[in-house]
Structure 1
Amino acid sequence: MSVLSAQSGSAMVRGLQERAARALPAERVEEVEGWWLRHAPSCAWWVGTVLPHGGAGTGELMGRVVEAEEFYAGHGTAAWFQITPSACPEELDAVLAKRGYRRESLASLQVAPTARVLEQVPAGSLRVRLENRPTRAWFEVWHAVNGHGGEWDMLGRVERPSAYALAMIGDDVVAVGRAVADTGWAGVFGMATLPQARGRGAARSVLAALSGWAGTHESDRMYLQVERDNIPALRLYERAGFSEICGYHYRTAEG
């Protein structure tokens, strides 16, 4: 890869992860020279991780880490860092490892052309209803699959155009997902399918509906984040036309 294309790829990764941070907004965000320090006590832990995108020389890096640790200590919690090699300071991962931070939760950032996702609509796809806000039925499926958390407060903070998809079998909602449009891209989040509906094309129907919505909101590309050990989800997204542009992981000193 040329220097120019490497820089372009790094900028795209940073931009996508910052779009994801806007689609998963923390309760408090403090930006310090490109590093996003995020506090989200009622949300899933990854919503409140450090997004360390600003450059830092060798002499500055430790100071930035300590500053982040002090931010989280002030909120009564330990720091978690999201580590993406192409988007973070080069030495950060090694610095955190030496500081006792363990590596956690390998993940994949994936992208696809919106038109390609729409083309993958399965034969006999389920009926999907789209809403502009999460409904009780949407939350019921999400909570049945993922448990309860602070999703309502978080989703109420999303400022970009959003769609909430509900796949139906008869009158029953069996799968959900959401998309957020942001400057030419639509991020996919909140995918969940009830166990009894798996293998019936519900998730692919949700993705197809969200891609149709994205196309009407000037988003010709889509992205998502998925855990690398979630094999069924990886297969689903591959069939839908997504491919990985980078992997990333987290570092934490939490006991």
Structure 2
Amino acid sequence: MVSEFAVLVPEEVRGLQERAARALPAERVERIGGWWLRHAPRSPWWVGTVLPHGATRRPGELARRVGEAERFYADRGGTARFQISPPVCPDGLDPLLAERGYRRESLVSLQVASAARVLERMPVSGESPLRVRLDGLPSPAWSEVWHAVQGHGVDPGAERELLARVEGPSAYATAMLGDEAVAVGRAVADTDWAGVFGMATLPLARGRGAARGVLSALAGWARAHDVERMYLQVERDNAPAVRLYKRAGFREVCRYHYRIAGDERRHRRSA
């Protein structure tokens, strides 16, 4: 049950965030001293953020690392953005970035649950008009729903390429209302965990159990692949999603945020 792993040590949190990075793979990744520098110019911005997971011990090393990251992105015509997770990123990084003019944005909750708990909390009624289809690849209907809800400003071709780069076993769940796809989500299995991504429901189906059906189907898929633990990431101000995941039995294990250059437009994260 979730109580068995609701409290995770920093190394486990780091492992989950790196699993998420593999499930949202950038076009190019360079690892320097434990830091992941991810370049994804055509993907949503969070796919190309720095994961600063390596410790810094020598005086001045932290500022040097930040400078290396900034040059990595500048050389590719981009701007460095950092994912700041207090349990796993170096002490002093957040205030250092603030001093350099980076703006704090997008408070995100990393949450976990057991697949068994999700199935227990999200039962599918046999009388529901909704049915959920599982595919190993994103169908056109899956992509259409995701883009209609979450894909504003996202290049559809870039999104297809991102999903094609995912190496782990994947499931794409599509909730159908009659012949119409109304809600979607995907899961990626990676060494004893299944991450949930891409949850999206069309307005016409909200409040009708579509998202619950998708989440339940993904939990069932995880158990069928001998994966008992699930994780996801949700913005704390996304109240409907937070409520859904709480009802499903997910519990927060970590909060993190991003540091983005102060002269950039405000962004939102929609994993």
- Length-normalised TM-score, structure 2: 0.90
Amino acid at match of 2:23: A
Between the aligned partners of 2:148 and 2:29, the Cα distance in structure 1 is: 29
SS at match of 2:91: coil
Which residue matches 1:76? Answer: 77
Check whether the contact 2:25–2:165 (CA below 8 A) recurs between aligned residues: yes
Check whether the contact 2:101–2:262 (CA below 8 A) recurs between aligned residues: no
Check whether the contact 1:79–1:254 (CA below 8 A) recurs between aligned residues: no
Amino acid at match of 2:136: N
Q: Deviations over 1:97-136 (max 9, x none)?
A: 1111110111100000111001122453531100000010
Between the aligned partners of 1:123 and 1:163, the Cα distance in structure 2 is: 18
1:8 deviates by 5.8
SS at match of 1:110: strand
Which residue matches 1:156? Answer: 164
Which residue matches 2:49? Answer: 49
* Aligned: 1:224 with 2:225: no
Which residue matches 1:252? Answer: 260
Q: 1:67 to 1:216 in 2, by over 3 A?
A: same
Between the aligned partners of 2:251 and 2:55, the Cα distance in structure 1 is: 27
Which residue matches 1:25? Answer: 25
Q: 1:101 to 1:184 in 2, by over 3 A?
A: same
* Aligned: 1:136 with 2:140: yes
Between the aligned partners of 1:13 and 1:37, the Cα distance in structure 2 is: 18
Which residue matches 1:101? Answer: 102
Which residue matches 1:38? Answer: 38
Which residue matches 2:60? Answer: 59
Check whether the contact 2:8–2:253 (CA below 8 A) recurs between aligned residues: no
Between the aligned partners of 2:227 and 2:123, the Cα distance in structure 1 is: 22
Which residue matches 2:202? Answer: 194
1:217 deviates by 1.5
Structure 2 portions without partners, runs of 5+? 264-271
Which residue matches 1:177? Answer: 185
SS at match of 1:249: strand
SS at match of 1:238: helix
- Length-normalised TM-score, structure 1: 0.95
Structure 1 portions without partners, runs of 5+? none
Between the aligned partners of 2:210 and 2:136, the Cα distance in structure 1 is: 20
SS at match of 2:60: helix
Q: Structure 1 runs of 4+ off > 2 angstroms? A: 121-126, 147-150
Which residue matches 2:250? Answer: 242
C-alpha RMSD of matched pairs (Å): 1.4
Aligned length: 250
Comparing 195-204 and 49-58, the one that deviates more? 49-58
Comparing 245-254 and 38-47, the one that deviates more? 245-254
Which residue matches 2:121? Answer: 120
SS at match of 1:140: helix
Which residue matches 1:214? Answer: 222
Between the aligned partners of 1:20 and 1:154, the Cα distance in structure 2 is: 13
